[in-house]
Structure 1
Amino acid sequence: MSQSNVPVWDDGQWTPLSALTGDVSADSCVIGLGGTGLTIIEELLRRDERVIGIDAGDVGAGAAGRNGGFLLAGAYDFYHDAVRKHGRERARAIHAATLAELPRIAAAAPGTVRFTGSRRLAADEWELDDCRAQLEAMRADGLACEWIEDALGVGLFLPADASFNPLARCRAMAVQARAEGARLFARTPVQEIVGTRVITPHGVVHCARVFVAVDGRLELLLPELIGRVRTARLQMLATAPTTECRIPCPMYYREGYEYWQQLPDGSVALGGFRDRAGESEWSTDAIPTEPVQGMLEDFLRSHIGVAAPVTHRWAACAGYTDTGLPIVEQVREGVWALGGYSGTGNVIGALAARAVVGAALDGDFFAVRTLLGENRRTES
């Protein structure tokens, strides 16, 4: 029997944080204790800031701890598409920045990252041609990419990418942040942000600046972003450990709509089919549904060839933008927003976190502009 809406990453060993009760003050308040929020906290602590972090759930309770566990270099778009949409200079800069960020993510959460590379598998003839176009563009810019054909499929191998346990990463970062003096609170939903006061059910955070670092449901916390970011539900399942297959690295299929990997214990984690469910998956409800779970299980059995029982089924909410570039900007005086990673926030989210701290504390917008291009309103 599968666990209901519990990600395969959860080992059940975490002690939940306490909720905020009473009024508190700090230099900065970070809303959202996922990878982005915790990276912001890490950066602020390095600057001797007094930091309070809050989350409506707990550490890694959103998409940051419930995703597929992929660490991929580059932007949301495949490299040749990023060059076409954003220009070669920006595409190369984003790719270089993400490559540099990967070892930092590994260092911040020792033991959670495996440098396995990743594969993009073609689902049809059109995608085979698209893979060739990506290979040509990456090689032209000196980026590591290989053509591969074997029993697992035909497509690309990207050796710089990695696999990781996203929830373990968040928890390790939270433990370190608390040890360095950050005050973190769970089960503390935000009711309203008034100026730079963060109002919650049982207390108010008084601070000089607010960082809203949530991906899914960002437009609910900051209504001014409605129309620029939209929340989607992403669904996954995982199996019991199995020796039926050997999957050496994270796999992307059908332009990334399906994705899977095999964990160190042999279990297989699989996600996808958001597009096949239509408008129903544009949702802020992070609950697995029978139609998508049925498609996932059919794909697991027929395409991947795994008969092991399903042990986990879960969902998460993630923000999408029309441009594929994230939201990283000051939306009100002293209030900064980060999100809209379009399902690929593990690395870009960390970059956005470092960029926004530089912009907010130093007035340095270079990294934000590199990430966003024309999708920014940073000086508003």
Structure 2
Amino acid sequence: MKTEMPQHLPVWDDGEWTPLPSLSGEVSADACVIGLGGSGLTLIEELLHRHERVIGLDAHDVGAGAAGRNGGFLLAGTYDFYHDAIRRHGHARAHAIYGATLIEMGRIAQAAPGTVRFVGSKRVAASPQEVEDCRLQYDALTADGWPCEWYEGADGTGLLLPTDGAFDPLTRCRLLAQRARADGATLYGHSPILEIRGTCVHTPHGRVHAGRVFVAVDGRLEHLLPELDGRVRTARLQMLATAATRELQVPSPMYYRDGYEYWQQLPDGRIALGGFRDKGGDGEWTHDGSPSAVVQQHLERFLREHLGVQAPITHRWAASAGYTETGLPVIAQVREHVWALGGYCGTGNVIGALAARGVAAAALDGDPSGVRLLLGPDWSPAVAAGAPFTR
């Protein structure tokens, strides 16, 4: 396998970002948010609206985790397809979550202007069995009045979801960070968390004393908060990207084989392709954020043989994402005044933002309705969502 970019930068990184300073010394705030991805930055926005003094920390930098290294899809609903979500979570909750994600996608577009293209998405079936599953999804969506079209084209058979979109996830995070700083938040990068002792957050060269701590990371959440070990598990998701090409036209994001493979074409013609996590075996359940030869070889073969793209590969990268047994996130007050949110099962672009808004309302306003929308009416702050992860 030839790797053209040894730094494993995502295709979204234009190299123009000025890194955040690292934390040095002792600082204090009303709230400390750990993790400067989409959910952490949305949470910071919500806290600022409530007139909190906020400090944000990241082990690397803004959008350096899955939030800035994913496939750039904005999809309505949960990790499960709509008919599966109805079966697993009940019709009322599946319907409510789907509607909430549609609203949230509009918020994301408004908050990060110029980054979102509402071009729909396509689910293309990889087998006759998946075609039948697409029919079940179509029936469930249309029965509830959600926009969905049956699709048959040269690239396969499946569904077109016209309300979905594509976006630049890293630019979105950077825009959110710029606005947070302009609104009064103090952000630090390259400040990995050594310990959370009470509500004091320790980094290699400094400490944050806060009234509340929010750990808003997706992958490696169970590493920062061992209380969640067994309820969330970290997996490595891998992608590659090509130089601009006209070998095919991909007008909307595509997902295939039940979503294991996914790709889109950027406005400049580059192809960004991810997937084959299941082909890497147990080795993909890892905290290692570097691309692996096995999965990258599957991706390259799919690019060349299935998509028919021979353009040079310019980027190979990976990200860590958290998964739960339920397909819904972990949202919990794991210690006194210490909250956790993550485990988005690959849906953090939209679900993560909803989780952040819900946590802010629960922790500061005493209003758990936003979290209960996602996790059900029985949710309480001190109970992590979902059964222990057994797979």
TM-score normalised over the length of structure 2: 0.96
- Give the structure 2 partner of residue 51 of structure 1: 54
What is the SS of the residue equivalent to 1:95?
Answer: helix
Aligned ranges 1:162-311 → 2 under 5 Å: 162-311=165-314
- What does the per-residue CA deviation read over 1:232-280, in whole Å, with 9 as the maximum and x for residues that have no partner? 0000000000011000111010000000000000000000000011100
**Partner residue of 1:98 out of 88, 97, 101:** 101
Cα separation, 2, equivalents of 1:89 and 1:64: 29
Matched to 2:66, the amino acid is A
**Partner residue of 1:134 out of 134, 137, 143:** 137
Aligned length, in residue pairs: 380
Cα separation, 2, equivalents of 1:270 and 1:258: 8
What is the SS of the residue equivalent to 1:3?
Answer: coil
Matched to 1:7, the amino acid is P
Matched, 1:329 2:324: no
- What does the per-residue CA deviation read over 1:315-347, in whole Å, with 9 as the maximum and x for residues that have no partner? 000000000010111111100101000011100
**Partner residue of 1:67 out of 66, 70, 73:** 70
What is the SS of the residue equivalent to 1:318?
Answer: strand
- What does the per-residue CA deviation read over 1:128-163, in whole Å, with 9 as the maximum and x for residues that have no partner? 000000000001111111001011211000011010
Q: Which runs of 5+ in 2 are unaligned?
A: 384-391
Matched, 1:79 2:94: no
8 Å CA contact 1:116, 1:248 repeated in 2: yes
Q: Which runs of 5+ in 1 are unaligned?
A: none
- Give the structure 2 partner of residue 3 of structure 1: 5
Cα separation, 2, equivalents of 1:372 and 1:121: 29
- Give the structure 1 partner of residue 372 of structure 2: 369
Cα separation, 2, equivalents of 1:218 and 1:377: 19
Cα separation, 2, equivalents of 1:295 and 1:233: 15
Q: 1:375 to 1:224 in 2, by over 3 A?
A: farther
- What does the per-residue CA deviation read over 1:166-200, in whole Å, with 9 as the maximum and x for residues that have no partner? 00000011011001110000000111111111111
Q: 1:374 to 1:340 in 2, by over 3 A?
A: farther
| Stretches (4+) displaced over 6 A | none
Cα separation, 2, equivalents of 1:371 and 1:290: 36
Cα separation, 1, equivalents of 2:58 and 2:177: 12
Matched to 1:204, the amino acid is R
Matched to 2:230, the amino acid is G
Matched to 1:178, the amino acid is R
8 Å CA contact 1:328, 1:376 repeated in 2: no
Cα separation, 1, equivalents of 2:96 and 2:332: 19
Q: 1:354 to 1:342 in 2, by over 3 A?
A: same
Matched to 2:148, the amino acid is C
Q: 1:259 to 1:374 in 2, by over 3 A?
A: farther
What is the SS of the residue equivalent to 2:25?
Answer: coil
TM-score normalised over the length of structure 1: 0.99
8 Å CA contact 1:327, 1:375 repeated in 2: no
Matched to 1:119, the amino acid is K
- What does the per-residue CA deviation read over 1:81-125, in whole Å, with 9 as the maximum and x for residues that have no partner? 000000000000100100000110011111111101000000001
8 Å CA contact 1:260, 1:270 repeated in 2: yes
Cα separation, 2, equivalents of 1:162 and 1:360: 31
Cα separation, 2, equivalents of 1:373 and 1:313: 38
RMSD (Å), alpha carbons = 1.0
What is the SS of the residue equivalent to 1:139?
Answer: helix
Matched to 1:2, the amino acid is E
Aligned ranges 1:137-148 → 2 under 5 Å: 137-148=140-151
Deviation at 1:369, TM superposition (A): 1.1
Matched, 1:110 2:113: yes
